[in-house]
């Protein structure tokens, strides 16, 4: 592909009109080659007048592409450096979803620039074995562009360590510089995880805050987007791509308050103020232009626990209608400018907002469950039945109150961590429940358990058949059991929630051959053993469970 083998500058037409002017000087492809689903970067030099290059009503630059199959693609570009009225540098970052020949040009528009388009040129994209971007598939899975199915297995890594943490018992642990993305994501991948959820906030990736970060990684700046935070976000995206882990990026409200450079004095005003909404769309455009190319960004999450924002003032809660209307507007806007169609979601803590779960451009719904991990399977199936969308438990845990000493009930914390993962694996959700307290579980070594979940997940998906829940019953008390069918295999999960060992029978509502082979897996001991042939009578198969210790589980694999 000759255009990428040499340093070529494309001289484009000057765009002028009376007192209104704009001039694209050149496009320089930075990448040495172009491959399907990999980032291609262009440097774009231009001269134009603006007040603020990050505001699209002031000035906006797009790359207009035509794919090999003839699809028209509008790629937002972003400002990098330079001054109004002088040569400035802009960037285009593109990840082609098709192999073959692309043609492209540049569109420049703005208040002081007559909208114009450049001449077109072309480049060739080589095919690759990458899977592409993630999209909705069914309640159990997402799917990549190439059709491969995906289930997220991981945890919250909400933020990197802070300078000062307010945990009563674990502030020293949470403040440890060890807890950065480089360490945590590598650890997650090493243990078999492939998914994490993280926040943009004042103390983490604070791209639109100027100071007071409570985090030594960031430097105060009066720039519109904080350079140190933008650089850290670049690093996070590159690291995720290199490790093959996928993120749910929680965007949050950003620096919306007047004292931080925004337009809204209150959260209630943020949802309805036209200037605040316009500013938020500019923020979204920048995020998509700079990082939307990443196949490892699985989803944009607009809010963390928006119901807690709604009831920030318990005596004067924000109108649910205004919050839902805002989500509808912003999710629709994202879909209109994101050329890769990343999934969009948001989350609640525990209070539903009427209409939020049915928004057309929210791809999957989400809530957080604490102190009730046993309720996860029911919550998932009930919400999916009600709203006809995938449902995700974005946070869960044995305890949410950070003023308590978790070491006083550490075994319960560990057991709850494991239960949430198993309950999720056997429930129709595309992302297994994501635990909170990442530092605590890393320090205890609990997160090594991801490897066992990943192993069973791989067994389930090896034949690429659809997943279905199957009926399984037992007369044993304090026993939770569930089952799924994948192709000709059944996976039966049995957990002893009691405080004593048990022996008994679980019954699977399925007819098996009298010579069906089977096996049993014990996660705690990592023991996989063959079962004797099981017999079915009248469409039911009894499975004998012997000496299952308290708070342990077994998985029966029947073929």
pLDDT digits (tens, 9 = 90+) for 540-551: 999 999 999 999
- CA 502/CA 508 separation, integer angstroms: 18
Quickly state the pLDDT bin for 119 (edges 50, 70, 90). Answer: low
Contact yes or no for 505/543 (Cβ under 8 A): yes
Quickly state the pLDDT bin for 224 (edges 50, 70, 90). Answer: very high
Token representation of residue 350: 């525990």
The predicted pLDDT at position 9 comes to 39
pLDDT digits (tens, 9 = 90+) for 504-521: 999 999 988 766 678 999
* Sign, Cα dihedral of 196, 199, 203, 209: positive
Helix axis angle for 274-291 and 320-337, nearest 10°, is: 40
Q: What average pLDDT does the segment 479-491 reach? A: 95
The predicted pLDDT at position 330 comes to 98
- CA 156-160-40 angle, to 5 degrees, is 85
Between 307 and 532, name the one with better pLDDT. Answer: 307
What backbone torsions phi and psi does residue 322 show, to the nearest 5 degrees?
Answer: -70, -35
Taking alpha carbons only, the member of 122, 151, 155 closest to residue 139 is: 151
Contact yes or no for 128/37 (Cβ under 8 A): yes
Contact yes or no for 361/328 (Cβ under 8 A): yes
Given a cut of 70, whether residue 20 has pLDDT beyond it is no
The predicted pLDDT at position 464 comes to 85
Contact yes or no for 550/496 (Cβ under 8 A): yes
Radius of gyration of the chain (CA): 26
Taking alpha carbons only, the member of 388, 375, 270, 390 closest to residue 330 is: 270
Token representation of residue 509: 């509502």
Quickly state the pLDDT bin for 60 (edges 50, 70, 90). Answer: very high
Alpha helices (runs of H) in 175-243, residue ranges in sequence order:
181-190, 227-243
The predicted pLDDT at position 118 comes to 66
Q: CB 88: neighbour CB atoms within 10 A?
A: 21
The predicted pLDDT at position 447 comes to 95
The predicted pLDDT at position 559 comes to 82
Q: CB 104: neighbour CB atoms within 10 A?
A: 19
pLDDT digits (tens, 9 = 90+) for 449-481: 999 999 999 999 988 899 999 999 999 999 999
Taking alpha carbons only, the member of 82, 105, 95, 116 closest to residue 35 is: 95
Quickly state the pLDDT bin for 5 (edges 50, 70, 90). Answer: very low
Given a cut of 90, whether residue 80 has pLDDT beyond it is yes
- CA 204/CA 261 separation, integer angstroms: 18
pLDDT digits (tens, 9 = 90+) for 311-325: 999 999 999 999 999
**Alpha-carbon torsion, ordered 302, 317, 260, 197, to 10 deg:** -30
The predicted pLDDT at position 290 comes to 98
Given a cut of 50, whether residue 6 has pLDDT beyond it is no
Average pLDDT across the chain, whole number: 93
The predicted pLDDT at position 21 comes to 63
pLDDT digits (tens, 9 = 90+) for 271-301: 999 999 999 999 999 999 999 999 999 999 9
CA 240 remoteness from chain centre: 11
- CA 522/CA 552 separation, integer angstroms: 8
The predicted pLDDT at position 256 comes to 97
The reply to whether the predicted model has a pTM over 0.85 is yes
- CA 455/CA 304 separation, integer angstroms: 30
Q: CB 344: neighbour CB atoms within 10 A?
A: 23
SS3 at position 323: helix
| DSSP state string for 89-146 | EEEEEE--SS-EEEEEEEEEEETTEEEEE---EEEEEB--S----EEE-SSS-EEETT
Token representation of residue 259: 């004292």
Fill in the DSSP letter of residue 257: B
The predicted pLDDT at position 200 comes to 98
Given a cut of 80, whether residue 117 has pLDDT beyond it is no
Contact yes or no for 375/393 (Cβ under 8 A): no
Given a cut of 80, whether residue 2 has pLDDT beyond it is no
- HEC string of 320-382? HHHHHHHHHHHHHHHHHHCCCCCEEECCECCCCCCCHHHCCCCCCEEEEEECCHHHHHHHHHH
The predicted pLDDT at position 15 comes to 36
Contact yes or no for 102/67 (Cβ under 8 A): yes
The percent of residues in the chain predicted with pLDDT above 90, rounded, is: 88
Given a cut of 50, whether residue 404 has pLDDT beyond it is yes
Given a cut of 90, whether residue 536 has pLDDT beyond it is no
Q: What average pLDDT does the segment 520-536 reach? A: 89
Taking alpha carbons only, the member of 15, 45, 230 closest to residue 110 is: 15
pLDDT digits (tens, 9 = 90+) for 177-220: 999 999 999 999 999 999 999 999 999 999 999 999 999 999 99
Token representation of residue 102: 């692309």
Comparing 2-6, 121-125, 348-352, the range with the smallest average pLDDT is 2-6
In order of their start, the domains of the chain are 2-125 (2.60.40.10), 134-461 (3.20.20.80), 467-558 (2.60.40.1180)
Residue 356, classified by CB atoms within 10 Å of its CB into exposed (0-12), middle (13-18) or buried (19+), is: buried
Which residues does residue 482 pair with via DSSP β-bridges, in sequence order? Answer: 493
């Amino acid at each position: 592909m000759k255009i990428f083998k040499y340093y070529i500058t494309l001289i484009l037409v000057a765009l002028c009109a009376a007192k209104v002017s704009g001039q694209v000087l050149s496009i320089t492809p930075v990448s040495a080659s172009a491959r399907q689903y990999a980032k291609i970067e262009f440097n774009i030099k231009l001269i134009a007048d603006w007040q603020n290059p990050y505001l699209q009503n002031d000035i906006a630059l797009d790359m207009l592409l035509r794919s090999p199959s003839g699809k028209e693609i509008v790629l937002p570009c972003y400002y990098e450096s330079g001054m109004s009225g002088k040569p400035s540098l802009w960037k285009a970052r593109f990840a082609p979803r098709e192999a073959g020949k692309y043609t492209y040009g540049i569109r420049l528009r703005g208040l002081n620039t007559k909208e114009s388009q450049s001449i077109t040129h072309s480049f060739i994209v080589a095919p690759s074995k990458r899977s592409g971007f993630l999209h909705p598939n069914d309640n159990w899975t997402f799917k990549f562009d190439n059709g491969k199915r995906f289930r997220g297995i991981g945890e919250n890594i909400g933020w990197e360590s802070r300078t000062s943490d307010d945990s009563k018992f674990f502030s020293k642990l949470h403040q440890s510089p060890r807890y950065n993305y480089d360490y945590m994501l590598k650890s997650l991948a090493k243990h078999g995880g492939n998914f994490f959820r993280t926040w943009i906030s004042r103390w983490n990736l604070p791209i639109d805050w100027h100071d007071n970060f409570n985090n030594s990684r960031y430097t105060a700046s009066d720039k519109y987007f904080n350079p140190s935070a933008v650089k850290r976000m670049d690093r996070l995206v590159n690291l995720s791509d290199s490790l093959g882990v996928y993120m749910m990026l929680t965007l949050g409200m950003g620096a919306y308050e007047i004292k931080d450079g925004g337009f809204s004095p209150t959260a209630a005003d943020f949802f309805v103020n036209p200037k605040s909404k316009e500013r938020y769309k500019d923020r979204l455009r920048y995020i998509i232009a700079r990082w939307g190319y990443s196949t490892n960004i699985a989803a944009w999450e607009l809010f963390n626990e928006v119901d807690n924002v709604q009831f920030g003032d318990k005596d004067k809660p924000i109108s649910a209608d205004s919050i839902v209307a805002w989500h509808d507007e912003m999710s629709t806007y994202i879909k209109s400018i994101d050329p890769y169609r990343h999934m969009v979601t948001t989350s609640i803590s525990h209070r539903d907002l009427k209409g939020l779960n049915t928004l057309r451009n929210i791809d999957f719904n989400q809530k957080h469950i604490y102190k009730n991990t046993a309720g996860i399977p029911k919550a998932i199936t009930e919400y999916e039945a009600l709203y006809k969308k995938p449902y995700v438990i974005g946070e869960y845990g044995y305890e949410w109150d950070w003023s308590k000493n978790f070491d006083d009930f550490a075994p319960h914390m560990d057991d709850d961590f494991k239960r949430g993962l198993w309950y999720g694996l056997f429930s129709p959700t595309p992302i297994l429940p994501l635990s909170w307290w990442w530092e605590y579980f890393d320090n205890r070594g609990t997160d090594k358990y991801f490897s066992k979940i990943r192993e069973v997940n791989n067994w389930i998906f090896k034949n690429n058949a659809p997943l279905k829940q199957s009926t399984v019953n037992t007369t044993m008390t304090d026993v939770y059991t569930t089952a799924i069918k994948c192709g000709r295999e059944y996976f039966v999960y049995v957990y002893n929630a009691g405080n004593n060992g048990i022996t008994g029978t679980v019954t699977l509502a399925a007819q098996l051959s009298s010579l069906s082979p089977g096996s049993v897996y014990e996660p705690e001991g990592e023991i996989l053993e063959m079962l004797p042939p099981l017999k079915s009578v009248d469409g039911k198969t009894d499975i004998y469970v012997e000496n299952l210790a308290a708070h342990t589980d077994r998985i029966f694999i029947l073929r």
